[in-house]
Amino acid sequence: MKKIFSKKYLFRNCLLITAILSVAVHFIGERNIGNWIFGFSQLSFGLILVTAFGTAIALGLKDDKIKWLYPILSAMFIYLLPPLLSIDQIGFGYFMYYLVFGALLFFAASLITALLGVIIGSAIAWVRRKRKKFQIIKTITQIREHITAAKRDGKSIGFVPTMGALHEGHLSLIRKSAAENDITVVSIFVNPTQFAANEDLDKYPRTLERDCELSKNTGATVIFAPTIEEMYGRRTESSAPTHCTYVDVESLTQGLCGKSRSTHFRGVTTVVAKLFNIVSPDRAYFGQKDAQQLAVITKMAADLNMPVKIIPCETVREPDGLAMSSRNAYLSPAEREQAIVLYQSLTAAKELISAGERNAATVKGKIISILNSKNLAIIDYVEIVDFETFCEAETIVPPTLIALAVKFGNTRLIDNVIIL
C-alpha cells in the first residue's frame, strides 16, 4: 500500500488505476454514457482544482518538498478517457466540443484557484516568519537542545558562521539561508585561534546588540554567541590552555593567506569544525570573498565526512566595487579612497583574459602595476593558482583563482576573482 501512494509511483499508479476504473465503468455502465462522462468530468475537475490550489500554496510557502503536480495529468486523463472510449457513440464533433470547452473551463478555474492559493500560501508564510521565535543562545548545551528539538520536528538547519560586525555581505548569506531552511543559526564569535600575536584580535569590532538586531530582521531565528571559555575551556592556574585539539587541512593552506598567516587556517578549521559539531547544520553558507577559506572548509567537510553541505555565495561589494569586509571600518578616508584599486586591478585582469591573454605572469604583472599606482597600497601577495589544487598556475586554464592581499596602513584587505 505504501508503494501505491509513494511519490515515486504516485503518477504511474494514478494513471493505471484511472485506466482500470474507466474501462470497467465503460463496460458496466454502457447504457448510461452521459452520466458516466459527467461523473468523471466532475471527478477530474475537482482533482485539478485541488491540485492547482495545493500547488499554489506550496509556491506561496516556497516549499519544494510538497509535490502537488503529480495528479494533474492523471486528472486530465480521467477527464478525456470516457468520451474517447465512447467516441463511436457520441461522435467526433461532440468529443472535440467536450475537449475544447473542458480545456478552457479547466484553465480559467485553475488560474483563479492558483492565484487564490498563492495569496493564501504567501500569507501563511508571512505569518510563520512573524511567529518564529528569535533566540540568543550562549551555551553549547542550550544550542544543542534547541537544534535537537527542531530536527525532531523535521526542520532543516541553515548555518552562517561569523565573527560579528555584520555587513551586507553577511546579511546576504543569512537571507539565502532563511530562504532555503526552516531555521537559520548565525554564530557570532571572535575566534582567538585564527589571530596571530601581532594581529588585530583586541581591536576587532564587537557589536553584538547591533548584530543580533540585523540578523533578526534579515531572517535569522537563532544567534549562537558563546564566550571564549565556552568554546575552548578555561585556562588553568599555570595559564596553560585546556584546549589541545586542532584541525589542520594540509596543502590548500600553504600559499596565499597561509604564507603570511601561518596559524590562521588551523584556527579557522578548528573553530568551524567545532561549530559544525555543535550546531549540526544541514547547510552552511560562506562568501567567495574568502575563496581560500571556502576551499579549505569545503575540503575539511569532505575529508572528515561531515554531514553538511557547504554553500558558496557570491562576493557582495560596495557601489564602487570594494569587497565588503568588517575591516573596511579601519580604513582612513584616504585609505578607503585608494582601496578600490583591488577591484580595479582584478577587473583589468579579467578584461585582459577576455581579450585572449593566457600567460599568468603577464596578467600578474598587470595587477601589480595597477596596485603600485596607489602610494598607500602595500602588496602582501598577488597569486594566480589552480582553483582546485591551489598550485601556482603558469597558464590560465579554468578554473583559475586570481587572489590578492593588500595592506593599507595596519588594515589588510583581500579580494579575488574566479575564472571559470
201: pLDDT confidence band, cut at 50, 70 and 90?
Answer: confident
Of 276 and 132, the one with more pLDDT: 276
Fold matches, 133-313 and 326-419: no
Look at residues 134, 176, 121, 185 and name the one whose alpha carbon lies nearest to residue 155. 185
Are 163 and 204 in contact, with CB atoms under 8 Å apart?
yes
Specify the pLDDT at position 6: 45
**CATH T-level topology, domain 133-313:** Rossmann fold (3.40.50)
At residue 30, the pLDDT reads: 46
170 is catalytic: yes
Largest CA distance in the chain: 98
Question: What are the cell numbers at 226?
Answer: 558563546
Judge whether 95 and 28 are in contact, CB under 8 Å: no
- Residue range 125-139, pLDDT digits in tens: 667 666 667 899 999
Please pick, among 26, 170, 243, 264, the residue that the annotation labels catalytic. 170
Question: Which pTM does this prediction carry?
Answer: 0.70
300-352 per-position pLDDT tens digit: 999 999 999 999 999 999 999 999 999 999 999 999 999 999 999 999 999 99
Structure confidence at residue 192 (pLDDT)? 93
Helices within 226-359 (DSSP H only): 228-232, 257-260, 264-279, 291-303, 333-339, 341-354
* pLDDT tens column, 81-121: 666 666 666 667 766 776 676 666 666 666 666 666 667 76
Would you give the distance in Å from CA 18 to the centre of its chain?
40
Q: Are 50 and 74 in contact (CB under 8 A)?
A: no
| pLDDT band at 64; cut points 50, 70, 90 | very low
Beta-strand pair 183-188/157-162: parallel
Q: Once rounded to an integer, what is the mean pLDDT over residues 224-238?
A: 82
With 60 as the cut, is the pLDDT of residue 267 above it? yes
Q: How far apart are CA 193 and CA 197, in angstroms?
A: 10
Task: Write down the CATH superfamily of domain 326-419.
Answer: Pantoate-beta-alanine ligase, C-terminal domain (3.30.1300.10)
What is the percentage of the chain residues whose pLDDT exceeds 70? 68
Nearest to 241 by CA among 283, 270, 221: 270
- Whole-number percent of the chain with pLDDT over 90: 59
Tens digit of pLDDT for each residue in 354-409?
999 999 999 999 999 999 999 999 999 999 999 999 999 999 999 999 999 999 99
Look at residue 1 in the predicted model and tell me its pLDDT.
41
Show me where the domains of the chain are located: 2-130, 133-313, 326-419
Helices (H) and strands (E) in the chain, counts: 16, 9
Q: Residues with Cβ < 8 Å from 171, sequence gap 6 or more?
A: 214, 218
377 in Cβ contact with 344 (< 8 Å)? no
